[in-house]
Chain A
Amino acid sequence: MKMAKALWTGFMESAERFPERPAVFAEGRTLSYRELQGLATRIAATIQAYPEFSRVPLTAVFGYRSPTAFAGVLGALLAGNGYVPLNRTFPTERTEVMFERSECRSIIVDSGSLPQLRKLLDRADQPLLVILPDEPEARAFREQWPRHTFIGLGDLDSPASWREPTATPDAIAYLLFTSGSTGIPKGVMVAHRNVTSYIDYMVDRYEITERDRLSQMFDLTFDLSVFDMFMAWERGAYVCCPSQKTLINPGKFVRDMDLTIWFSVPSTVAFMRQLGMLKPRQYESLRLSLFCGEPLPISSATAWLEAAPNSVLENLYGPTELTISCTLYQWDRFRSPEESDLEIVPIGYPHPGMNVLVTDHNLNEVAPGEEGELLMNGPQMSPGYWRDPEKTAAAFVVPPGKSDVYYRTGDRVRRPTENRPLTHLGRTDFQIKVLGHRVELGEIEAVVRKVAGLDGVIAVGWPVTVSGAGGIEVFIEGEVKEKDALRGAVGAALPEYMVPKRFHCMNRLPRNVNNKFDRKAMLKLLEEGV
């Protein structure tokens, strides 16, 4: 009988086949498969040695673009737990909410995240297992927080004591938090079977080999990072992670690392164009260029291909709930302009096994050629939101006349005719994309409402761009005496890309005929330069 596959299986096989090949580049140094496997199994063995901290089978990874962060992801998985990425570039308050909601009792922390860890430790209401692979020993931590169990590098268990966990396809491989409308982030559960189904298809499609070098532009809290890591490790390839500062000049990184596969949000292309980093034939090493996370303008695709002429370009689409990406479209300079809508590259065709339904407001399928909301299901569909049956029931639905569950993406698409590709037309609700990040305007409004103590709060994406919005502006009904204090408190609660650029206080906000706040009127005010 064939053994069930887990997300870690491909990495372990590659580590057997290619122990001395480079597995990951981070913080300016390279770890071979043997080195990465060694550290990851020591972390895993340590987690297994304290089973009382894995009653909820999740381990948090509080690491940012460091070897420890990557070893932590593998360590959590090899212990038989799902991993929950935390991000030190997020406000501590948000990280605390994510950590608490996950109910993790074990956490792996890199040295750069230690300052924020202290706040998590002070707030934790239960004892934690804290693994610090960057600290030679952890005595000082034990003395300061005696109720938690601290493990430094020297205290990690030996790889010999690690036991390979049973691969359970329905177990959570990772839990990722996305923006939620009530102000509380939602935890999307992705099971091993969701992500292994995806990786199996994509490594074959892209013919990944041990000679490939993949970019790692995404933070671990963005699910597209799973593609970079596990596509590479499935086949013995090298995943190359730039530092936070190198992200500003990714072109040099492509050349310095001789990358063969590029994967980023389309905003990065716009950024690189503005900084003069897309000159003809500049990135000849790239054989594959992938984009996902927001609409890809045709102008970005063509500019990129001039700079990376040896590369096949594909546009991927997919919410976290459908595991990384669930449709794709290969750019063709002759055919694609005619197949596009709104000057945006189509999102293409569903991955094998994934089913598409385009519906009206009542979830009835629309006719071919008409617009509607995109619903999908298939092997990549998440089991739902962690500890939140209500939100799961709202987003994972059985449409009329169907017998199985579909995920409502909230994206507007045109139902294809004949063999034409799906085209993306925008969002159906108030979730918008700000520089590739999915943002629920309601979450920002909830925070501002709480801090300002005023009810009339509307957030809008402004300026409007082809991919969503360049930033956020907030309208408040009433008077805020100390805008600086408001800005400070909101900034402490939200990630940078969600923090409003400006607050506009008005005695009365514009309303429509139904007496609802009129977002369009507010956008018009911004257009007029309010």
Chain B
Amino acid sequence: MSVVRPPDVRLFLTDYLMRKLAGDGRALTGDLADDCDLLLSGIIDSLGLLDLVGAISQHFGRELTFDEIDPEQMTIVGPLCRFVAEQLSRY
């Protein structure tokens, strides 16, 4: 099974958010910085997070478990990408 790296997750994340925001009549301005907090910056809300997790799971074909991540880190781009990549590479 191929290893998923954080940049792969980030690539998908950027593409997903651009599409999602365009659907809402908004735009993603600039690159997603490592320390960008998706929740505090208003890019997604807690429900948007569920959609995002569902989309990542579907894209990479694996279930994700968010039980172990520190909630403070969960919506920050860098830690989120690393956590997802680590989860996906675990099996």
A contacts, CB < 8 Å to B: 242-243, 245-249, 251-253, 271, 274-277, 279, 282, 435, 470-471, 483-484, 487, 496, 501
Contact = CB atoms under 8 A, between A and B. Distances in A.
B55 interface: no
A274 B54 CA distance: 8
A276 B47 contact: no
Contacts of B39: 245, 248
Contact of A276 (B45, B66, B72, B75): B66
B90 to A, nearest CB: 13
Contact of A246 (B24, B25, B66, B71): B71
30 contacts: A242-B71, A243-B71, A243-B72, A245-B72, A245-B74, A245-B75, A246-B71, A247-B46, A248-B39, A248-B46, A248-B74, A249-B69, A249-B70, A249-B71, A249-B74, A251-B67, A252-B71, A271-B46, A275-B50, A275-B67, A276-B63, A276-B66, A277-B65, A277-B66, A279-B67, A282-B67, A470-B47, A471-B47, A487-B24, A501-B24
Which secondary structure characterizes the binding site on chain B?
loop
B49 interface: yes
A279 B67 CA distance: 9
A450 B65 CA distance: 44
For B66, B69, B72, B74, the residue with the greatest tally of chain A CB atoms inside 10 Å of its CB is B66
Contacts of B65: 275-277
Interface of B: 24-25, 39, 45-47, 49-50, 53-54, 63-72, 74-75
Nearest to B54: A274
B39 to A, nearest CB: 7
B25 A484 contact: yes
A435 B47 contact: yes
B43 to A, nearest CB: 13
A271 B50 CA distance: 7
Contact of B72 (A246, A274, A483): A246
Contacts of B49: 248
Contacts of B69: 249
B3 to A, nearest CB: 21
The 8 nearest A-B residue pairs measured at CB: A276-B65, A249-B71, A275-B66, A246-B71, A484-B25, A277-B67, A245-B71, A248-B71
Contacts of B54: 274
Contacts of B53: 274-275
A251 B74 CA distance: 13
A249 B73 CA distance: 10
Contacts of A253: 71
B52 to A, nearest CB: 11
Contact of B75 (A248, A279, A435, A483): A248
Nearest to A501: B24
A501 B70 CA distance: 29
A36 to B, nearest CB: 25
Contacts of A246: 71-72
Contacts of A487: 24-25
Nearest to B69: A249
Contacts of A282: 67
A496 B45 contact: yes
Contacts of A435: 47
Contacts of A247: 46, 71
A434 to B, nearest CB: 10
A495 to B, nearest CB: 11
A246 B75 CA distance: 11
Contact of B66 (A249, A483, A501): A249
